[in-house]
Structures are given as structure tokens and as C-alpha cells.
Amino acid sequence: MTLSPSAASSGRSSGQRPSGRRRARFSPFVRQVFLYLLGLIPAVSDIVRGEMNALGPNPVSFCLHDFGLWAFRFLLLSLAVSPLRRFARRDFMVYRRPLGLLAFTYAALHVVFYVGVTRHFDGRVLRGDFTTRPFLIFGMLTFLILLVLSLTSTRKAIMMLGRRWTRLHKLVYPAMCLACIHFALAFKTWHVEPFLYAALAAALLALRLVPRAEVRTS
């Protein structure tokens, strides 16, 4: 096991055991579960408020769009983990899986709401949607990628896939790009918000292009 830089520094300042490692109160697994449950709060809040008629005249569309937005946010957060470790020496690697799973969960809620609640599983309409409308095709491709990444996020899948797992999970980059396009096309006019989100996404993806060697010498 390697020591994370943040754990090392905090150990030093508090002058604890020679290993420099402070015992975490909760195991990584418990912390992952805790973050995941925390991340579900917006969904629970939307659904409760929707059932209480507190989301305005169109609660269906509110939830549909809010779920999509949270999927985007968690995808951004999951993509921030490795740059944070590399450039800011903050290690949240243990939280990357729950963040990715949250992105998938919200994307799934978003899709289920679209397909079931708003389209009533109408096959004819949905076939048209997902074959002729680029806006929806981009969204669906994003969801399918997140689905594959979620299904292969178990420890067992990581072991089985070995080095191929890393390559497979680089699909999160195209997923992020597709989500940006889907979001930008979701409005009747250009809105500022999708461009702000896309700028964040572009920044996080661009950090991955910084050559390794430069970092080591700095």
C-alpha cells in the first residue's frame, strides 16, 4: 500500500505513529457508501417535493432536468479526482467509484423519467427519438457508456479485466464530451449554463494532457 500525500502530511503535523498514518475512523468501504447515500439527497428531495406539489406547475420536467444536471455534476466530480491528486496533492481516490456510480444513478433516473414518465414507454416515439434526433442520441450514448462503466466498477471486474480495465474506463472522456453536447442542445436558444459546465469539463480533460515529466520535476 502506498501512502497518500495528504495522509502523510497530516500524520506529520499531529506527530502520531512513526508510520505517519492516522487511523481513519471508518473503513474506505463505509466512507464510499456514506458518500453515495449523501449524493442521493438531491434525488430524494426532488421526489419528495414533487409528491408534495412543491416543484411548480411541471414537476415532471423539473425532475427530468434536475436529474440530468446532477448526473453531469457527479461526472465532473469523478473526473476531478485524479487531477486533484496529481496537481493539488489531495487524494480522494477512494471516492471516485461512488462519484461515478452517482453520475450513473442520476443518468439512469434521467433516462427512466424520459422514457417512462414523459413518453409512457411509447416504442414508436422512442424509436424515432433515438434514431433521428442527435440531441437524444448523444444523451443515450452517454448513458450507455456510464452503464458499461458502472457494470465494470466492481472489484471482481477490475481484477478480471486487468490492464484492459484502465483502457475501458477511459471511455469516461468521450462520455463527458457527449454529455456536454447533449446539454448544450437541450434548449431552444443557447444558454450560458451548458457552456460553463462544458468549460469545466474541458479544463478537467485538458489537465490529463499535461505531460507527466513536467510535474515530477516541479
Give the dihedral sign, CA 115/121/122/127: positive
- Verify binding: residue 42, other proteins, rule CB under 8 A: no
- Verify binding: residue 204, other proteins, rule CB under 8 A: no
Contact characters 116-145, other proteins, x per CB under 8 A: -xx-x-x--x--xx---x-xx---------
Is residue 63 a contact partner of residue 113, using CB atoms and an 8 Å limit?
Answer: yes
Report the phi/psi class of residue 46: left, alpha or beta, with left for phi > 0 and alpha for psi in -120 to 50: alpha
The C-alpha angle with vertex 82 and arms to 17 and 86, in degrees rounded to 5, equals 65
- Residue 40 identity (one-letter amino acid): L
Q: Which is nearer to other proteins, 51 or 157 (CB)?
A: 51
Give the dihedral sign, CA 174/75/47/195: negative
Q: Which is nearer to other proteins, 12 or 133 (CB)?
A: 133
Q: Which is nearer to other proteins, 46 or 91 (CB)?
A: 46
Cβ of residue 121: shortest distance to other proteins, in angstroms?
11
Q: Which is nearer to other proteins, 26 or 195 (CB)?
A: 195
φ, ψ of residue 135 in degrees (nearest 5): -50, -45
Query: Among the candidate windows 25-33, 54-62, 78-86, 156-164, which touches other proteins by CB under 8 A?
Result: 54-62
* CA–CA separation, 143 and 136 (whole Å): 11
Contact characters 61-90, other proteins, x per CB under 8 A: x-x---------------------------
Judged by the rule CB under 8 A, the positions of this chain that interact with other proteins are: 47, 50-51, 55-61, 63, 117-118, 120, 122, 125, 128-129, 133, 135-136, 185, 187-192
